[in-house]
A and B are shown apart, each in its own frame.
Chain A
Amino acid sequence: MNNTLLFDFTVNKATKTVLINREFAAELSLVWDAFTKQEILDQWWAPKPWMSKTKFMNFEVGGRRFYAMVGPEGHERWSVQKYISISPKSNFKMLNAFADKDENPELPGSEWDLNFSEENGKTKVSISIYNESLARLEKMIEMGFKEGFTMTMNSLDDLLKTLSHQ
C-alpha cells in the first residue's frame, strides 16, 4: 500500500536522539491537521489494540495535551505534552512526559522537534526525539506495546485484504 513512501528510523545512541522520517501520500495541510488536532490524533496515535484518549488539547505555544494510551484491558497510561513553539504547517516543538492521572508529569521527559514539508504531492515529516535517558523509551515498550504489536500487524493484514477485495 505504501511501499514507495519513505520510512527511516535511526537511533543515535551518542546524542540520545531518535530520528524518524516518514512520507505520507497527502497534502501538507492534511498531515499537519493529523498531528495537531485531537480528534484526528486519537484515530492513529496509539498502535492497536491500544487506544489514544485525549482529555484536553490546547495546540498553542505554552498549551498542553493531556492524553492516555488505553490498553485492551482498559489500563490507562497518561502522558502530557507541552507545546514550546509552533510555526504553522512547518514545525512545532514540544516536551513529552509520562504523567499520573492527575496531570503530574514524571520528569525528565523527552524533547520533540517535528518538521513538515511538501514535495510532489507527498508530505514529509521529520521527527527528532531527544531523551535525557534512552531508558525512558524502554518504559514505553514495557507498557505493553509488545503484546499489542503482533495484533496490529494482523489487523493491518486483514484491512489490506478487505481493501484488495473491494
Chain B
Amino acid sequence: MRRDIFQAIADPTRRAIITIIALQAMTPNAIADNFKTTRQSVSKHLRILTECELVKQEQQGREIYYSLQIEKMKEIDKWLNQFREIWEARFNQLDNVLLTMKKKKK
C-alpha cells in the first residue's frame, strides 16, 4: 500500500517528531525521551514517517539516526500552493463573470 503523506502529517505525535528532528538527527531513544508514550509507539510513528520518505535513517556506528527530509516537506508546501493557485485563478475568473453580470443588469 502506498503511504499517504498527508495522513502521515495529520497525526499530532508525528508532527511533533518532525519538529524535533528538524533541528538535528536523533536516535529513536532520544526522540522517545520527548514523549510520554511508549518507545514502541514512537518506533511505529518513525516507521510510518520513513515509509512516507519524510524522514531518513542513517547508521552511525551502532546507532541509527533519524533526520528530516527537508525537500519532501517543501514538496507538501509547493503542492498546497498549487491548490491555492487553482482557487485564485477560479475566483479571478468569477470576478470577471460578476462584472459582466452587473453590466447586463444595468
Q: Is the CB of B89 within 8 A of A140?
A: no
Tell me the complex Cα distance, A5–B91, Å. Answer: 11
Interface, chain B (partner A; CB < 8 A): 4-7, 9-10, 12, 15, 79-80, 82-99, 101-102, 105
Q: Is the CB of A61 closer than 8 A to any CB of chain B?
A: no
- A90–B88 Cα distance when bound, in Å, is 22
Residues of B within 8 A of A153 (CB): 89
Q: Which of A70-78, A81-89, A110-118, A131-139 contacts B (4 or more CB under 8 A)?
A: A131-139
Closest-by-CB residue of B relative to A9 is B84
Interface size bucket, A side?
35 or more
A14 touches B (CB below 8 Å):
yes
Q: How many A-B residue pairs have CB under 8 A?
A: 96
Main secondary structure of the interface of B (DSSP, over half): helix
Docked pose: A13 CA to B6 CA in angstroms? 7
A30 and B87 within 8 A (CB): no
Partner of B92, one of A2, A13, A40, A135: A2
Chain A residues 94-151 with CB under 8 Å of chain B are 133-135, 137-138, 140-141, 145-146, 149
Q: Is A44 an interface residue (CB 8 A)?
A: yes
